[in-house]
């Protein structure tokens, strides 16, 4: 009898996950989440210097590319895959160079792309999810924040995002960056509702992996910062991306823009979140 119940439970979990995958493939949001409204986008204040922050994803898998990232000028954040062969070595070096270290948490996709070790999936129980998250965090020394690696399926699921936020509310005081790999993501929404310090990605620098594409998206990042006061870009350790950043980061003063740590943008967003909550209070 116990074995039968266990089998039915497993089948039910797989059917539930499959149903959500099918909804995602159809282009529909899998779960409707009517939560608290997020604050409106910021507007740049006169007399203030626009600020950008940068996160380089997929760190830890290649040593040579990772070392090039660490040589970039300024507080470029490094997001490490939990079980990359060079994650510990490069995370320690990043910390020594005053670059913020993040966990690049692998998450299940709608397309069912191959998931890196330490990934979280829709068919996990809460305990499995939390155990995986704790193990992943233990692999990345000096971790101060988390962002999602892929995750077009699981970031649209409020229940799993709630587990993530609860897992971040311990003694570590972690922040969360929503990489926004799907327009249906609720990750930033759930973070806001649970008062987890968080911010969303504005620009993917290398969605089009060419020198011209990276240059165009970097220019868009600067434009957003000038209009909104802040902007967050995410890139990857590709040659085109690293070459552009090595060249353009030194020119930021000429553009009237400042590179700041990701945590600085998170703090600014946290202040806006608090003001927005206060404005909605009766």
Q: How many domains in the chain?
A: 1
Q: Look up the pTM and report it.
A: 0.88
Please determine, for residue 93, whether its predicted confidence score (pLDDT) is greater than 60. Answer: yes
pLDDT digits (tens, 9 = 90+) for 179-194: 999 999 999 999 999 9
pLDDT above 90: percentage of residues in the chain: 79
Task: Name every residue whose Cβ is closer than 8 Å to that of residue 16 and which is 6 or more positions away in sequence.
Answer: 122, 123
Q: Which domain holds residue 159?
A: 50-280
Q: Is residue 211 scored above 50 in pLDDT?
A: yes
In a domain, 168, yes or no: yes
- Residue 5 pLDDT: 38
- Over residues 2-32, the pLDDT tens digits come to 344 344 444 445 544 554 444 444 444 445 5
Residue 234 has pLDDT above 80, yes or no: yes
Asked if residue 212 belongs to a domain, the reply is yes
Catalogue the E-assigned strands of the chain.
51-59, 77-80, 101-107, 143-150, 175-178, 198-200, 203-204, 230-235, 258-259
* Residue 52 confidence class, pLDDT cut points 50, 70, 90: very high
* Strand (E) or helix (H) holding 129: helix 126-139
Does 261 fall in a domain?
yes
Q: Which residues pair with 20 in a beta bridge?
A: none
Residue 36 lies in a domain: no
CA distance 88 to 82: 9
SS3 65: helix
Indicate which CATH number applies to the domain containing 75.
Answer: 3.20.20.370
Domain assignment of residue 146, yes or no: yes
256 part of a folded domain: yes
In a domain, 23, yes or no: no
Confidence of residue 122 (pLDDT cuts 50, 70, 90): very high
């Amino acid at each position: 009898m116990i074995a039968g119940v266990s089998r039915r439970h497993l089948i039910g979990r797989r059917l539930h996950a499959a149903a959500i995958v099918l909804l995602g493939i159809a282009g529909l949001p899998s779960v409707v989440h009517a939560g608290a409204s997020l604050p409106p986008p910021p507007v740049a204040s006169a007399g203030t210097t626009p600020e950008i922050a940068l996160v380089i994803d997929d760190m830890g898998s290649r040593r040579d590319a990772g070392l090039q990232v660490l040589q970039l000028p300024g507080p470029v954040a490094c997001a490490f895959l939990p079980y990359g062969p060079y994650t510990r070595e490069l995370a320690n070096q990043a910390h020594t160079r005053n670059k913020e270290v993040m966990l690049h948490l692998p998450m299940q996709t709608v397309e069912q792309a191959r998931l890196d070790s330490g990934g979280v999936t829709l068919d996990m129980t809460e305990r499995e999810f939390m155990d995986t998250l704790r193990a992943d965090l233990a692999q990345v020394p000096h971790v101060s924040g988390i962002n999602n690696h892929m995750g077009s399926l699981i970031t649209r699921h409020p229940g799993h995002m709630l587990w993530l936020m609860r897992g971040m509310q311990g003694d570590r005081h972690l922040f969360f960056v929503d990489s926004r790999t799907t327009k249906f993501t609720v990750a930033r929404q759930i973070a806001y509702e649970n008062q987890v310090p968080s911010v969303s990605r504005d620009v993917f620098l290398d969605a089009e992996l060419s020198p011209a594409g990276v240059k165009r998206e970097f220019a868009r990042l600067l434009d957003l910062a000038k209009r909104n006061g802040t902007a967050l870009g995410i890139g990857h350790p590709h040659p085109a991306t690293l070459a552009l950043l090595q060249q353009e980061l030194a020119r930021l003063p000429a553009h009237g823009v400042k590179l700041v740590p990701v945590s600085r943008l998170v703090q600014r967003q946290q202040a806006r979140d608090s003001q927005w909550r206060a404005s909605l209070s009766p």
